[in-house]
Structure 1
Amino acid sequence: MPAATANCEVAPPTDGETNARQWTGAVKRALLKAAETSLKGTPRIKVLVLMDLIQDLDVILPIVERMQTDSRFALTVVITDWLDKISPRVSRELLARSLVPLVITKKDAIDGSEPDLSRISAVITACETNHPAHRVPHAVVRRANNRAIPTYTLQHGLENVGLTYFEPYPDHDGPIEMASSTILTWGPVENLPSEASPTTLARCFAVGTPKAPQPSTVELPLHPKIGPIVAVFENLHWERFTDTYREAFIRDLLDVAAARPATTFLLKPHHAGRYLVKNSHLLAHAPANIVLADPTVPPWEPYTASAIIGSVDAVITTPSTVALDAARAICPVAVAGYGIALPIYEPLPILTDACTWLNFIDGVSVASTDLQSRLEEFRMRHVIEGDAVGRILDRIAADARRIGTGKRSGQKV
């Protein structure tokens, strides 16, 4: 296990759940596994997995879980100090799987002093572009590229900047670009938008999504005797939404909740943006059947979109990947449109006013076959079925073999 430095350390326990006993046990298991590997003497592909955003864990975790049991790989997981502080769930989930993450500072990652890449054979990031929000993985990937280390980034959203989404960003000049040598997409490369640059398309490799299609049902921290639950997801912090959109969305949520008092509306803000947490005054007159799942409050911090989707009766969302996650879970879902052109979400129901909200919710209660067929068509448009994680690992292993063969023969790889 790499030695800790002043700025690169093994993640400490972050809350009561990640207690000293769990921490000690995870370290012991990791050391035993490392010792067993060294005794076998078989060369392994040393993979570094980097996470910096709250939502990274959901797409990365299935990959690292499989790598743990695949003898072809030796795994190092690195997280930033910001992520470790803001989302204790990340370290908790890793430790539960005997994965002891290394913590580096954002500054060191951007400056190029961390993480150590001297013995690394491949780098995986959950999300990497030249947008300021992704500057940590972008910096690490560029360092790895300079060392001729294969780099892999995942399609992390249905509307993925630089890949499937091309609207300008006020805090970024010029086109959004990815530096990774391989971009792992959810759907067929030939189905990507024509706006994607030729250099981007040339590096794309279709695998599907590593996230499980059927999230497990969990017990939400709600009253046990409540009726139907509609999860309402908002990422209203996004610059694409006008004040008119935001006002209409909030107004219709309040009106519809008042019109259906037997239904619980579980309002889930984006884990990072938290628009309706920061602007909670907009909910001052909300009906009692609207429950705000504030991710900064301990009871709700562990509940990501996937966990909630698997435990509710229907989903309403602002435009986001939540729509695809729900469709893959065969959970009825509708998208709030309010004048935004949303062809990528067709043929899902697009909500434009309180009446369309109510029509959707009432249609769910009668198990509409039309809605189920829409869900299937939508998910088939955007995701290749099958073992995405297996395809990812096989691609990394094939690249490693190709590079190893080239080095042994003296060829340029």
Structure 2
Amino acid sequence: MPTTDASREIASRTDRATSAQQWAGIVEQALQQAAKASLKGTPLRVNVLVLMDLIQDLDVILPIVERMRTDRRFAVTVAITDWLDKVSPRVSRELLGRSMVPLVITKKDAISGLEPDLTRVNAVITACETNHPAHRVPHAVVRRANNRAISTYTLQHGLENVGLTYFEPYPDHDGPIEIASSTILTWGPVEKLPAEVSPTMRARCFAVGTPKPPQSPRVELPLHRQAGPVVAVFENLHWERYSDSYREAFIQDLRQVAAARPAMTFLLKPHHAGRYLAKNSHLLVDAPANIVLADPTVPPWEAYTASAIIGSVDAVITTPSTVALDAALAVHPVAVAGYGMTLPVYEPLPILTSAGSWLSFIDGVGAASSDLQSRLREFRMRHVIEGDAVGRILDRIASDVGRTSEGKG
């Protein structure tokens, strides 16, 4: 082939290749413009990672996740630790029952920073996050997220929330309790938080109310048909705050009161994690038969949370815990076992100090006391602002992430 013809052939091939590249570029540009046009005016969805590591996390997290799944502003991923998946099958069961498949991560990798993947995450929600050893998983994940300028939120998870509303020293933690989350969602007004809350922490608090529904539907408890009136007795006696004399008085009075009211059933519910009286069942040897131990590790009782039980009994007695507020929100008669403890947080609820005060409370429940109803109402108003807490949470997250996106743009 002559040199001139060869040059023309090479030029022709080059022109065709260049033309193909140009057309590919034009098509790609057109597709990008079309995609932008279709998204114009439609805000991007907020990718939310919800993290759970403790058994009690589900009760405060689930109402938020359920609402987010029906809100087009959000795309939700629920991550749980392998430990939680093992010790509380209820968590996965509840999620799967709502067509949510949880992402299971290992505690070890979460603490070391390997999991979960935060690449496309805009916001992280934890049920409880502090630098206390019990919360090291959410604390590690939140710190990673903060370093990536991801909005982070943690919930007030209890009436006496360590580092937020409870400040007694912990034997397994030195130094002050700190919360790393950029926003702390509280149940009650920020201005009513204790004076011990630091100015920097107080500035990150935002009052929303409690996301837990005020009342759970009444369920059929696995009790004998002739159980009679049922008094739920909740205990978290594993907590270091209790003295041996407190524990002894609580157990002794429970036994004595149950013996004095044989027609009643006393449903004894240990804390899901602590399980003090389940682990120390010898303390209930020869106890009256109308004391029923609801051990959460025993299949018939594993599925029954505090809220489910509260909504299905006639009265509630509890050691100092959030159960008192849950019962008051459900408008159920509730009293708190005191035994010499100073409990201003629980005022004006009845504080029990003897078997006689247990009996007075129980016997007065049937009278529909207006005084007790007034106490319940005052207690609720002290600790929880009314209204749609979940709606406030979702609106706050959408607003925060929207401002962050505008700033980056």
**TM-score, with length taken from structure 1:** 0.89
Q: Deviations over 1:7-36 (max 9, x none)?
A: xxxxxxxxxxxxxxxxxxxxxxxxxxxxxx
Counterparts in 2 of 1:55-204, with a 5 A limit?
55-204=56-205
Counterpart amino acid of 2:46?
I
- Partners of 1:61 and 1:260 in 2: CA distance: 38
Secondary structure of the 1:334 match is strand
Give the equivalent residue in structure 2 for 1:221: 222
Q: Deviations over 1:95-154 (max 9, x none)?
A: 011110000000000000000001000000000000000000000000000000000000
RMSD over aligned CA atoms reads: 0.8
Q: CA deviation at 1:225?
A: 2.5
The letter of the residue matching 1:311 is S
Distance (whole Å) between structure 2 residues aligned to residue 262 and residue 224 of structure 1:
12
| Structure 1 runs (4+) greater than 3 angstroms displaced | none
Aligned equivalents of 1:73, 1:171: Cα separation in 2: 38
SS at match of 1:133: helix
Q: 1:366 deviation in Å? A: 1.3
What secondary structure does 1:295 align onto?
A: coil
Alignment of 1:338-349 (within 5 A): 338-349=339-350
Unaligned runs of 5+ in 2: 1-37
| Unmatched 5+ stretches in structure 1 | 1-39, 409-413
Corresponding residue of 2:241:
240
Higher helix proportion = 2
Question: Shift of the alpha carbon at 1:359?
Answer: 0.4
> Hey, what does 1:279 align to over in structure 2?
280
Give the letter aligned to residue 405 of structure 1.
E
- Secondary structure at 2:299 match in 1: coil
Q: Within 2, Cα distance between the matches of 1:200 and 1:216? A: 36
Structure 2: which amino acid aligns with 1:48? Answer: L
Counterpart in 1 of 2:352?
Answer: 351
Deviation at 1:223, TM superposition (A): 1.1
1:288 aligns with 289
User: CA shift at 1:318, angstroms?
Assistant: 0.2
- CA–CA distance in 2 between the matches of 1:226 and 1:250? 21
Is residue 385 from structure 1 mapped to residue 386 from structure 2 by the alignment? yes
Give 3-state SS (helix, strand or coil) of 1:366's partner.
Answer: coil
Distance, in Å, in 2 between the alignment partners of 1:213 and 1:395 is 22
Q: CA deviation at 1:275?
A: 0.2
The aligned counterpart of 1:313 is 314
Deviations 1:46-80 (A, max 9, x none): 00000000000000000000000000000000000
The separation in 2 between residues aligned to 1:75 and 1:115, in whole angstroms, is: 14
Query: Partner letter of residue 208 of structure 2?
Result: V
Shift of 1:369: 1.0
- 1:317-371: CA deviations, max 9, x gaps? 0000000000000000000000110000000000000010000001102111110
**Equivalents in 1 of 2:103, 2:404: separation in Å?**
27
> What is the DSSP-based 3-state SS (H/G/I as helix, E as strand, rest coil) of the residue aligned with 1:299?
helix
- 1:46 maps onto 2:47 in alignment: yes
Alignment partners' CA distance in 2, 1:390 and 1:199:
26
- Deviation of 1:199 (Å): 1.2
**1:334: which partner in 2?**
335
Deviation at 1:246, TM superposition (A): 0.2
> Percentage identity across aligned positions?
83
Q: Work out the CA distance in 1 between the residues paired with 2:73 and 2:55.
A: 28
Aligned length: 369
Aligned amino acid, residue 398 of structure 1: S
